[in-house]
Chain A
Amino acid sequence: MHILIIDDEPDLCWALERMLKADGVTVTAVGSGAAALDFVVQYDVTIAFIDAILPDSHGIHLAQQIHALSPQTRMVMMSGYYYEEDWCRSHVPLVGFLAKPFLRTDVQAMLQHVFADETQQQEAWVWHTSC
């Protein structure tokens, strides 16, 4: 399984990478929308954690592009700026939303949710976080 983190904060990528790392899981972090698009074309990404505000792109726009290139990739939006309600109106197939700052339990619950949801891939909904 391959997880991609897209965030322009290297320290946040570093911490999230360590939280997500497990046996059989490869985690890669990139700092821009362009690098993320390059990556999804080359690799089979299972889950992408996308920061809502990137220097070269907007999270929603990037999610649409990733979905077009790699429809099987499940996407989780992360933001300290937007709220989950903001994503309900967007027609982007996101499986969850992580509000910054998040707890490890939020991240783990999000992963469980993504896999539990595997069978109903087409139905996108928003995950509630605890902080």
Chain B
Amino acid sequence: MTSQNLPISPPLVERTWHPTLESLFHCWQHFFFSHRNPATLDLDLLKVLTEATQADYAAFMQYDPERSMLSVSAELGVPPPTPLSPTIHVGAGVAGWVAQQCRPILFPHNPDLPASLVAEIEQHALRSVLCVPMVIGDQVHGVLYLARTAAIQHDFTCDDLWFVSLIAERQTAALLLMEDDIERRRLEAQLAQSAKIASLGVMAGGIAHEIRNPLAIIAASAQLLEDHPDDPDLRQQCVQKIVTSAQRASLIIEQLLKFSHPPQERFRPLNIHATLEDTFNLLSHQMLVSQVTLRRDFSPDVPRLYGNPELLQQVFTNLILNACNAMPQGGQLTVTTRLSGDHVELRFCDTGHGITKEHAAKIFDPFFTTRTVGKGTGLGLSISYSIIQQHQGTLEVVSEPDKGATFVIRLPVSD
């Protein structure tokens, strides 16, 4: 595409509205706190800035401390006739100078701007440039670069500089907080994954039983084949049983692998009954070993929910394993689903030994366990609690000693 084919934006007139710094800042605050999509955050911020400052080109350059480089992570508007380099060294060019000096540039108002930078701006055929460092303490995080091409009749003002500097500072602080939050969530996810792997240990007995049964059928059928090579009917039956049993063993392993795999991060529409059934399938042998019978009381009115099925399956697994553990002589587990107002209510009701008041107060605390060392991590319920919180829901327990326990999950119905 040649430069003649580029769309030409109409020249902007000087803005007729004069927002105060306060109103602009308020506008940014609203933008930042209502912003839900981290993937478009940089670009959306640039939109706010170009609108407020009437820039016709804006770029956000991120600082990479390891390579001491700045690279464009988002840009908006009509690029200068000679485009900016997508990555530059700190110290090189306008943005590099701003990052190195930790000082803003307001061209053409800056009296002490090095001649090389003035030459660069002129080479790009820019009328006015506003470039601001994003700094917290002495730590540079990036640079905001705004420009007006020669087509615009007016230069950036000191007000524009104040506004962009203020946003740069606030945005950097907010991004740092967000990074802390991301780190916290990463650690939480890691812990949840460890607890999930630990719960596989609890399930090992049930898994052994479930896999060795088809293996026993395969081994026995293979030997029957060997003993009776001339019986075509028996032969066919044996082959069919071997194939079916191999598929069954493989399915169990597939369910286990799916369960032990780290969950997808995505929240998506889900059928809560299907997620419950997946969990029941995974734990059916565990319930058999524990002599626990399962009763479903599902309401057909329950709508689809918005959530993460892998994470919810982890919650259901924890609740079912706990119920099995609370009924050492066997018993009944009833799982109920109901639509209650704008929430879906799930109840896991067992006929086990129940929970004392003292224990009920600590039951969701991390590392609280009544089991002996090596039999439980004490993380299952605290992680379940945090997963349900991530779904904007609640998890509660109702129990009396010797009368069983009921865990109640409430999840909001999505719009």
* A interface with B by C-beta (< 8 Å): 9, 11-12, 14-16, 18-19, 53, 55, 57-58, 79-81, 100-104, 131
Contacts and interface: CB of A to CB of B under 8 A. Distances in A.
Contact of A53 (B219, B227, B241, B289): B289
Given A12-B217, A15-B217, A81-B205, A100 B212 contact: yes
Secondary structure of the B side of the interface?
Answer: helix
Contacts of B212: 80-81, 100-101
A101 B215 contact: yes
B208 A80 contact: yes
B220 A15 contact: yes
Contact of B209 (A12, A55, A80): A80
Contact of B215 (A14, A18, A19, A80): A80
A9 B234 CA distance: 18
A14 B216 CA distance: 12
A83 to B, nearest CB: 10
Contact of A101 (B219, B224, B244): B219
Given A12-B217, A19-B220, A103-B223, 15 more contacts: A12-B216, A12-B220, A15-B221, A15-B241, A19-B224, A53-B289, A55-B288, A57-B291, A80-B213, A80-B215, A81-B206, A81-B289, A100-B213, A100-B216, A104-B223
A102 B206 CA distance: 19
Task: Select the residue from B216, B221, B234 with max chain A CB neighbours within 10 A.
Answer: B216
A56 to B, nearest CB: 8
Given A11-B217, A81-B209, A53 B224 contact: no
B245 interface: yes
Interface of B: 205-206, 208-209, 211-213, 215-221, 223-224, 227, 234, 237, 241, 244-245, 288-289, 291
A81 B215 CA distance: 13
A14 B217 CA distance: 9
Contacts of A58: 291
Contact of B224 (A18, A55, A131): A18
Contacts of B220: 12, 15-16, 19, 101-102, 104
Contacts of A19: 220, 223-224
B346 to A, nearest CB: 25
Contacts of B237: 14
B217 to A, nearest CB: 5
A53 B207 CA distance: 13
Nearest to A57: B291
B218 A101 contact: yes
A18 B215 CA distance: 17
Closest 9 CB pairs of A and B: A80-B212, A15-B220, A101-B216, A100-B216, A101-B219, A81-B209, A101-B215, A104-B223, A100-B212
29 contacts: A9-B213, A9-B217, A11-B217, A11-B241, A11-B244, A11-B245, A12-B220, A14-B237, A15-B217, A15-B224, A16-B220, A18-B234, A53-B288, A55-B288, A57-B291, A79-B209, A80-B212, A80-B213, A80-B215, A81-B205, A81-B212, A100-B212, A100-B213, A100-B216, A101-B212, A101-B218, A101-B219, A102-B216, A104-B223
Contacts of B211: 80
Nearest to A52: B209
Contacts of A16: 220
B292 to A, nearest CB: 11
B181 to A, nearest CB: 45
Contacts of B224: 15, 18-19
Contacts of A79: 209
A55 B212 CA distance: 17
A9 B245 CA distance: 11
